[in-house]
A and B are shown apart, each in its own frame.
Chain A
């Protein structure tokens, strides 16, 4: 029992720490960090993923193929263009009063390249052009009031105590709701029931560049393993799929799954019932599944396409060859099979979906990244169309006549204004609750679960032990949202994604983590569970 004097000092120190957590910068910190990361790295990464905009121009005879190369993207601070053409810096209060959007112009370098067939590739036109306007979060790095002192804020019409962290679209302040999801690229095992029997299922949400695919590996009641993934209706036999990916022999397959004798027994049962023996046969069977009734060539092509595109897409990374990727996919599937068997044998408990280690939060920057990706895709489709038409009418191709900036602007502003996000979610952006100061803070620190409000979801609504220190145990609404809408704890800090995964992997490899046998290059440690 501490002496009274110690207790007082302790409390004073604790109060100071607590006060620090409530300084203005930290209240909406997760919003700022996420959005700043999006502006600094996320946007460029999305553009780099896209690389080029291809057109159909070169397909006809006598025409050179034309494509557009995308370069660096740059964003400035918000400004407003008046009717007479003058441009001035826009401050948040003016945006609120005039009902305009607090957005900044986005510039991108684009080069139109022609050639490749008969003649040399040459750059027809290359400029940095304005591709649209992006709404900017108040208080973020690119906000005009970032770094202002209290007096300057008052001069410009802002409240010094306002935490920021919201967007201003058409004059209304909108907050992007943080939402929680199951962690992607992780193997989760659970029990399920099919036709009344209890079966074991290993799931993984494989996510890459905004595309999220659910890959399932289930062990049916006869003990057979089946895998299901998008674009293939129903399930495919595990052995067939693994053979199609490159693991042919029985020993290889059994070895990769596990060395445990009981699991080996199960695997041998599976192998007995196998329909195919070689890789070619396996791909043919798969081809017949995905493209039934078409010619053989098309079936093979489609089977390869489906494997590369829809099965475990997260294993594709820069720097890894295609054949290695396939083997990695086979290894990953074997791990999923192992998880199923361990669950069946009782060696492993089914994963707790409410455990916060299995959850990730999508904050405003991540949401904006998804939005930007879709908007950029729409813009490229429009640019492609405009290029083709300009070419058809024999006009000079130039960047400034081909880019329509309102396409991107509308695609970015509309979801924030209405709340309907790409991917069909609605209610993502909400009007900031300005009832009082506490209301604002609470709204900015809110967490939403995507589960449906009308279902009971008892476990999801319960207070979980891992919420200690992270999520407030008492602040949750009464009624249908109880336990699904949560609020951050006072001292909560959100960790961010690593900037450069390759560097992380090199570091791990140098510390002694072994790669998958078969991969000579120890610098490439493929994604693990």
Chain B
């Protein structure tokens, strides 16, 4: 305290009551109506954001997209016929607490599992599809995800149509142990079967595509694409940093980083996704899937 201030009368401090912001207020915006971009903090109307395919107006951040929203944004209206919606896990290893977790996510997401598969069309071009949904168990791959992909690929073979997959997954599902690991082999073998029959395979990796999913079907397209900013990689950042004892660059394992490393055909903005897929389907009408 400065000396001159010692002689001035001290004003009694105004008592301030601490207000603890509620969880909702912390987000700065009323829940539901508006949303704040986690990257550039821009506040936007949820409805406008939806119309913009969940891409931030400010910085172009791609929000995770639910499976049914992707279907709506890409496929011809009313063309989608879902396959194997009734498949659900049977807790094959009798893993403790697993069924409860699945039940909770079912309720939360309205999905049976972390993937929706089916047959539909884009601009009239038919294709089989698989859309992973990261809101269900982080999109992790267990027996059901593996089986649904395999059956959808078999449907593509049967109908002689291409197969397009959107991946969003943290990797193999721990609670199904080695059975999850074997789904990498199962889906990989199905992709090989379709490929050997001349079928077109397109993989679009969205945030995140890591571990056993990136090390199997996600990397096995004739065309491998990614959405901007998506995290894609095999090993986790922390384990790599511990192993090599150095800090990794900020953009490590992003879609842009992988493009630079030669691991992707292109990074596609969500606004151009439909157009580019439509072009690929058009180009492969002769040869490829229609052979």
Real binding pair: no
